[in-house]
Amino acid sequence: MTIPDSHAIASRRPRAHRAPRRQAAAEIGGNHVGEFASQRHAAQPVSPAVPHGVFDRAEPFLAADVGGTHARIGLVRATPAGQPPVSVLHYHRYCCADWADLGSVLHDFMAQLRSAGHADLAARVRRCVVACAGVVLDDRIVNDNLPWPVSIGALREQLKLAQLEVINDFEAVTWATQFLATDETLPVIDVAQPAARGPVLVMGPGTGLGSAVLLPRAGGHAQVLPTEAGQIALAPGNEREIEILRVLARDRAYVSCEDVLSGPGLLNLYQALCELRDCPVSLMTPAEVTGAALAGHDAAATETLQVFCGLLGSFAGDLAMLYGAGGGVFLAGGILPQIHGFLRSSTFAERYFNKGVMRAWLQKVPVRLIEHGQLGVIGAAGWFLEERQGEQTMPPL
């Protein structure tokens, strides 16, 4: 599945699982796929002309993937039966910090549609699905990593929508991964035989640490199980990691995997290692730490990225065993493709396989890297279309 600005994805339409969560992930220092929000919200119709619960699959609608740094917006439409289910007709990525609120972003996107020759389609937009990190409380999406609060009701009124639904951002990315071809991913751990049919783990460090599982079902449909795995307690695997844990535990009652395997976590690791190495902290962002490590001119940064990759491998192996992910593991995130070579030469694979009697099983489970791109938009749109099948009515807010 190539993911240009206009794209259609393949034809299976799995049904996604919905459950209120808090945490999920993609780009370290970039888009947040970390902090679950899988509440679904449907609006009352804005006028009698749009009957509640009636959904014409031929009508275009908006799909948004909103993270702490970027908002990715697409105008999408279902394709006819027997064709790929989703076409992305227009797409744009926004920097959230440049906008006053999500409504302003979506209003600008609608203006773009009109100036790009899609005025007729823009006039027909009455529905929107938002893939967003955070917790849905009453009418609001609450997430400290978002640059502004999001009121579901206000957003619906601003855009005069008949329906607005919210899905967890990482759940949306996971939903879309079932349409990826092998050559659209990067190898981290290859296996001799193709991956078995079975659960697929999708995980990734971003502003938080997200993970979800794609569960295959009979008839080609799949279900997405979002998880809170990023909040699992950190399990050090060697003496150096025990020292790091001691440093981190001084100012927090609980040290989670997310506290080290995320953008903020990368800085936590770097600062702890600077203390242990008795050297000054000179790098202030995850991008600076990663850049210095790849350039090889900062020993603390290099060790930080090495520890990060080792812990990531250990955590990926743990989750693969926990969920029986015989179908493989996908690593999501914006920064991970940039450190692909470093990741492959690191202790990631060694730590991934180091699971005692489960080593032989893990050696049959491939690990591949995916780039975020339009996956969140495509996954949210596909989930929305699948979610509407067979459901004639939706509960009001």
Q: Give 112-170 pLDDT, tens digit per residue.
A: 999 999 999 999 999 999 998 767 778 888 776 677 888 888 888 888 999 999 988 88
β-bridge pairing 135-137 and 140-142? antiparallel
Do residue 34 and residue 167 come from a single domain? yes
Residue 120 lies in a domain: yes
Same domain assignment for residues 193 and 279: yes
Other Cβ atoms closer than 10 A to 30: 20
Torsion of CA 348, 351, 353, 356, to 10 degrees: 180
Q: How far is CA 354 from the centre of its chain?
A: 27
Band (pLDDT 50/70/90 cuts) for residue 31 is very low
Tell me the residue range of the domain where 265 lies.
Answer: 186-369
Structure tokens at 363: 């050696």
**Tell me: the pLDDT tens digits for 254-297?**
999 999 999 999 999 999 999 999 999 999 999 999 999 999 99
397 domain-assigned: no
Both 197 and 332 in one domain: the answer is yes
Q: Find out whether 197 and 329 touch, Cβ atoms under 8 Å.
A: no
Are 360 and 377 part of one and the same domain? no
Same domain, 82 and 26: yes
- Give the pLDDT score at 158: 87
| Residue 136 is assigned to a structural domain of this protein | yes
Q: Give a yes or no: residue 380 inside a domain.
A: yes
* Co-location of 267 and 355 in the same domain: yes
The answer on 249 and 292 residing in a single domain is yes
Residues 345, 383, single domain; the answer is no
> Does 1 fall in a domain?
no
The type of residue at 114 is: R
Pick 1 or 314 by higher pLDDT.
314
For the chain, what percent of residues have pLDDT higher than 90? 52
Over 50: is that where the pLDDT of 224 sits? Answer: yes
Q: Does residue 12 belong to any structural domain of this protein?
A: yes
In a domain, 2, yes or no: no
| CATH code, domain with 217 | 3.40.367.20
Asked if the structure places residue 76 within a domain, the reply is yes
Tally of domains within the chain: 2
Query: 150 and 247: one domain?
Result: no
Residues 22 and 165 in one domain: yes
Question: Is 170 found in the same domain as 224?
Answer: no
